[in-house]
C-alpha cells in the first residue's frame, strides 16, 4: 500500500525487452541500499517490484498486460516518473490509501492558472466515472489529489487543484493538454459502490 505522497522523481535510464515483457531501469535518489530486492515501489502510480539494483538505478519488470492498461507504454529513455516506496507500520498516511493498481487512463483536457495554483480538468473512462465524487480522492500518476468538482452528462469530467509545491515536486508540472495520466480511484468508493449494487445491502437499507 501507498499514500499518494510522492517522495522522489525518477528517470527512465534504459528499457530492455524480456521475452514479451519489458524491464525498466530507473535512475533516482531513492536510498536503494536500504530497499530490499522484491520491495514494492509506486512508479507514477503503478505498483512495481524492484528486481535488481545497480548504483543509483533500480530495475522493475512490467508485463504486457500492465503496459496495455497504463501509460507505461509511453515511457521512453529520459521520461520522468513519480516514485513512492511502500508504507511501513507506523508511517504517516499523508494522502489516502493507494493500492498502486491503476484502474484506467484519464485524459488531461484543460489547464488553468488560478493564482499560484493550477486547475486541471480531466476526462475519466465512462466505467470509472461513478466512483469519482466531489471532495473524494483520486490518484493521478501516483499523486493523491482531492476532487474539486464533477461535470459532464455522465459525470466523466472532473477537476483537481494543484498547489505550487505539488506542481514543482511531481511530474504533474510536466503535463500538457492532451496527455494521458494513470488513474486510480479511491478504494473506499469502489467498495461502497459494490455494496450499493448488492441486493443484500439494498434490503438492509430499506
pLDDT of res. 206: 47
Q: Which helix (H) or strand (E) holds 89?
A: none
| Prediction pTM value | 0.90
* Residue ranges of domains in the chain: 8-85, 104-195
Which residues pair with residue 46 across a beta bridge? Answer: 43
The CATH T-level fold of domain 104-195 is: Elongation Factor Tu (Ef-tu); domain 3 (2.40.30)
The secondary structure of 138-182 as a DSSP string is EEETTEEEEEEEEESTTS-EEEEEE-HHHHHHSGGGG--TT-EEE
Q: What is the rounded distance in angstroms from the CA atom of residue 79 to the CA atom of residue 187?
A: 28
- Regarding beta strands 57-62 and 117-123, do their DSSP bridges make them parallel or antiparallel, or are they unpaired? unpaired
The per-residue pLDDT for range 141-183, each reduced to its tens digit, is 999 999 999 996 677 999 999 999 999 999 999 999 999 999 9
CATH architecture of 8-85: Beta Barrel (2.40)
By percentage, how much of the chain surpasses pLDDT 90?
Answer: 79
Same fold for the pair 8-85 and 104-195: yes
Average pLDDT for 108-127 = 96
Which residues are CB-neighbours of 92 under 8 A, at least 6 positions away? 3
- Cα–Cα distances (Å) from 128 to 79, 100, 121, 184, 196, in that order, read 27, 16, 16, 9, 15
The per-residue pLDDT for range 27-66, each reduced to its tens digit, is 999 999 999 999 999 999 999 999 999 999 999 999 999 9
Amino acid at each position: 500500500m501507498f499514500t499518494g505522497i510522492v517522495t522522489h522523481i525518477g528517470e527512465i535510464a534504459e528499457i530492455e525487452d524480456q521475452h514479451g515483457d519489458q524491464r525498466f531501469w530507473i535512475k533516482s535518489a531513492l536510498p536503494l541500499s536500504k530497499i530490499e530486492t522484491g520491495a514494492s515501489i509506486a512508479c507514477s502510480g503503478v505498483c512495481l517490484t524492484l528486481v535488481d539494483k545497480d548504483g543509483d538505478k533500480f530495475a522493475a519488470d512490467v508485463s504486457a498486460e500492465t503496459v496495455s492498461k497504463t501509460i507505461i507504454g509511453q515511457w521512453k529513455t529520459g521520461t520522468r516518473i513519480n516514485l513512492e516506496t511502500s508504507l511501513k507500520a507506523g508511517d504517516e498516511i499523508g494522502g489516502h490509501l493507494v493500492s498502486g493498481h491503476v484502474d484506467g487512463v484519464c485524459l488531461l483536457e484543460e489547464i488553468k492558472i488560478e493564482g499560484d495554483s493550477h486547475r486541471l480538468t480531466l476526462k475519466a473512462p465512462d466505467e470509472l466515472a461513478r466512483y469519482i465524487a466531489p471532495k473524494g480522492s483520486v490518484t493521478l500518476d501516483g499523486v493523491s489529489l482531492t476532487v474539486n468538482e464533477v461535470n459532464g452528462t455522465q459525470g466523466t469530467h472532473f477537476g483537481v487543484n494543484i498547489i505550487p509545491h505539488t506542481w514543482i515536486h511531481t511530474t504533474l508540472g510536466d503535463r500538457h493538454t492532451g496527455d494521458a495520466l494513470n488513474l486510480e480511484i479511491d478504494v473506499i468508493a469502489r467498495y461502497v459502490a459494490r455494496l450499493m449494487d448488492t441486493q443484500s445491502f439494498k434490503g438492509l437499507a430499506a
